[in-house]
Amino acid sequence: MEISVTVNGVKHTAEVEGRTLLVHFVREQLGMTGTNIGCDTSSCGACSVHLDGEAVKSCTILAVQADGTEITTIEGMAGADGTLHPMQQAFMENHGLQCGYCTPGMVMAATSLLKENPNPTEEDVRLGLEGNLCRCTGYHNIVQSVLAAAKA
Amino acid sequence: MIPAAFDYARASSAEEAIALIGQYGDEAKFLAGGHSLLPLMKLRLAQPTVLVDIGRVPDLSYIREEGDQIAIGALTRHMDVETSPLLHQHVPLLAHAAGHVGDPQVRHRGTIGGSIAHADPASDLPATTLALGATYVAKGPNGTREIAAADFYHGFLTSALEADEMLVEIRVPKMNGAGWSFQKFNRRAQDWAIVGVAAWRRNGDAGVALVNMGSVPILATDVASAASSRIGSAIRRVTNWLDTSLAAAQADPQPDLNASADYRVHLAKVLTRRALEAASA
Ligand SMILES: Cc1cc2nc3c(=O)[nH]c(=O)nc-3n(C[C@H](O)[C@H](O)[C@H](O)COP(=O)(O)OP(=O)(O)OC[C@H]3O[C@@H](n4cnc5c(N)ncnc54)[C@H](O)[C@@H]3O)c2cc1C
Ligand code: FES
Ligand code: FES
């Protein structure tokens, strides 16, 4: 069926199968591969994008369910001139990544968290990122990054 | 992983959704938040041939006061239950339990109606609404009916809902200041409970229900009189009840990767004690 989705401010109209997952639509049909697939079982959060401003796991949403919505992916976070989003900047400055595989999902989940809770405690950040797994950092610097971005 | 192919239909009203399900028959399923159904479909543990998407049905996402109850639309998302000021005021146990479902991304999509209709004994909200004495409202081709939570859960992932019935509302009695506690034991923050306990206690009255201690969420019976007694004997009553229902196989915890059946029984007793102590503090 035909869907129409605004991704990073650009409207896309496309034909998808009912079973096409949002993450495959974004990566394969739109060619935006910043959104990663980690577990593919709704657990790791690597595939997190914003749907109408809220973090969701795009491996567990059908593209048809996103019809008519606004999606933001990691590609939509930096400014048009390449200026990093404050969350991306904070991850860079606080060494919030090692291999970087979880990072797009972390950034999307963390920005959604700050929207709901602009002044989180460390505990709030840890709980707020419970849906995102990182196999490298031990989380410490990710949490520091998010706290730094909240102050930025 | 990609689900098996299916036809997709989006309903714009509850009536339309029920008619569509009726038209397509047994192989069709409602799709709400999709956060139980889609994972099963990706693993091909479920292969419905038609999905009737009710996610866009307007007017089924609300939380409102109705006399001594709070009425919650079936499509209300976990995040909205978790953050509702009305629920924090009148049914804080439910708001708190909703905040323990999965993680924020899951709570942005999953709905209370989907959670209850799915009837997973490991889920948090079936047991919590059961402990609270909730009533569920189902709508079918011949109108609506009310089902007490205590009569709703028939077996693993099966409920009193007919195939062409849609859950439209959850009605929860106000707690009127009762003490409460939600104990969820799991190994990782986002996981389902290995065992969980939802409990509330007020002079002369109490409710306790267990998560993941059998094929259905389990309501402790005969705890009301325990409510007025001292905390020590209240806890004894509930653990005696647990022993009796284990013996009668009403509670029938299964072993899995996370826990043996015996360990689940141990956890249930420890968590029930903690829950009743916290609810009485
Ligand atoms: C990573 C992850 C972690 C999770 N952790 C937890 C947890 O810790 N605790 C917990 O309780 N849950 C957990 N869940 C499940 C989550 O709460 C689901 O959102 C919820 O169980 C189902 O709600 P849904 O709206 O997504 O339903 P769907 O997946 O859309 O539907 C589930 C089932 O109910 C039926 N259905 C849905 N709505 C209705 C209706 N209104 N009337 C009739 N039938 C209906 C569907 O046909 C389907 O069979 C988790 C899910 C994920 C993906
Ligand atoms: S890939 Fe979606 S949650 Fe892991
Ligand atoms: S930086 Fe490698 S998984 Fe997080």
Closest approach atom of ligand 2 to CA A133: 4
Q: Which CATH architecture has domain A2-75?
A: Roll (3.10)
Q: Identify the residue among B82, B103, B106 best suited for mutation to test binding to A, counting A beta carbons within 10 A and taking the highest.
A: B103
Domains B58-173 and B179-280 share a fold: no
* Region class of B109: left (phi > 0), else alpha (psi between -120 and 50), else beta: alpha
- CATH 3.40.640.10 assigned to domain A86-151? The reply is no
pLDDT digits (tens, 9 = 90+) for B116-161: 999 999 999 999 999 999 999 999 999 999 999 999 999 999 999 9
Query: Residues A44, A132: contact at Cβ < 8 Å?
Result: yes
Query: Residues B216, B121: contact at Cβ < 8 Å?
Result: yes
Counting every residue written for chain B, the total comes to 281
CB contact set of B197 (below 8 Å; sequence gap of 6+) = B181, B182, B183, B208, B209, B210, B211, B268, B271, B272, B274, B275
Instruction: Tell which residue, A136, A135, A117, A115, has the closest CA to residue A127.
Output: A117
Q: What is the arithmetic mean of pLDDT over B10-30? A: 95
pLDDT of residue B227: 56
Lowest average pLDDT, out of B86-90, B145-149, B214-218, goes to: B214-218
Q: Two tokens at B61?
A: 């996402």
Beta bridge partners of B135: B148, B171
Is B6 within 8 Å of A19 when comparing Cβ atoms? yes
Is A65 within 8 Å of B31 when comparing Cβ atoms? yes
The full set of domain ranges for chain A reads 2-75, 86-151
Q: Which CATH architecture has domain B58-173?
A: 2-Layer Sandwich (3.30)
Chain B residues whose beta carbon lies within 8 Å of the beta carbon of residue A51 = 108
CATH match for B7-53 among 3.30.43.10, 3.20.20.80, 3.90.850.10, 3.40.50.720: 3.30.43.10
Instruction: Tell which residue, B252, B263, B162, B268, has the closest CA to residue B209.
Output: B268
- Backbone torsions φ then ψ of B226, nearest 5 degrees: -65, -25
- Helical packing angle, A103-116 and A86-93, nearest 10°: 120
Beta bridge partners of B195: B185
Minimal-distance CA residue of chain A relative to B192: A43
Confidence of residue B226 (pLDDT cuts 50, 70, 90): low
Query: Residues B98, B78: contact at Cβ < 8 Å?
Result: yes
- Alpha-carbon distance of A152 to A149, in angstroms, equals 5
Instruction: Please name the member of B3, B34, B102 whose beta carbon is closest to the beta carbon of A131.
Output: B102
The answer, yes or no, to whether any atom of ligand 2 lies below 6 A from the CB of A106, is no
- 3-state SS, residue B29: strand
pLDDT digits (tens, 9 = 90+) for A28-74: 999 999 999 999 999 999 999 999 999 999 999 999 999 999 999 99
Q: pTM (2 decimals)? A: 0.96
Confidence of residue B224 (pLDDT cuts 50, 70, 90): low
Instruction: Tell which residue, A117, A120, A115, has the closest CA to residue A147.
Output: A120
As a CATH number, domain B179-280 is 3.30.390.50
Is B34 within 8 Å of A62 when comparing Cβ atoms? yes
Chain B residues whose beta carbon lies within 8 Å of the beta carbon of residue A62 = 8, 31, 34, 38
Tell me whether A21 touches chain B (CB under 8 Å): yes
- Alpha-carbon distance of B130 to B153, in angstroms, equals 10
The answer, yes or no, to whether any atom of ligand 3 lies below 6 A from the CB of A100, is yes
pLDDT digits (tens, 9 = 90+) for A94-151: 999 999 999 999 999 999 999 999 999 999 999 999 999 999 999 999 999 999 999 9
pLDDT of residue A55: 98
pLDDT digits (tens, 9 = 90+) for B237-268: 778 888 888 777 778 899 999 999 999 999 99
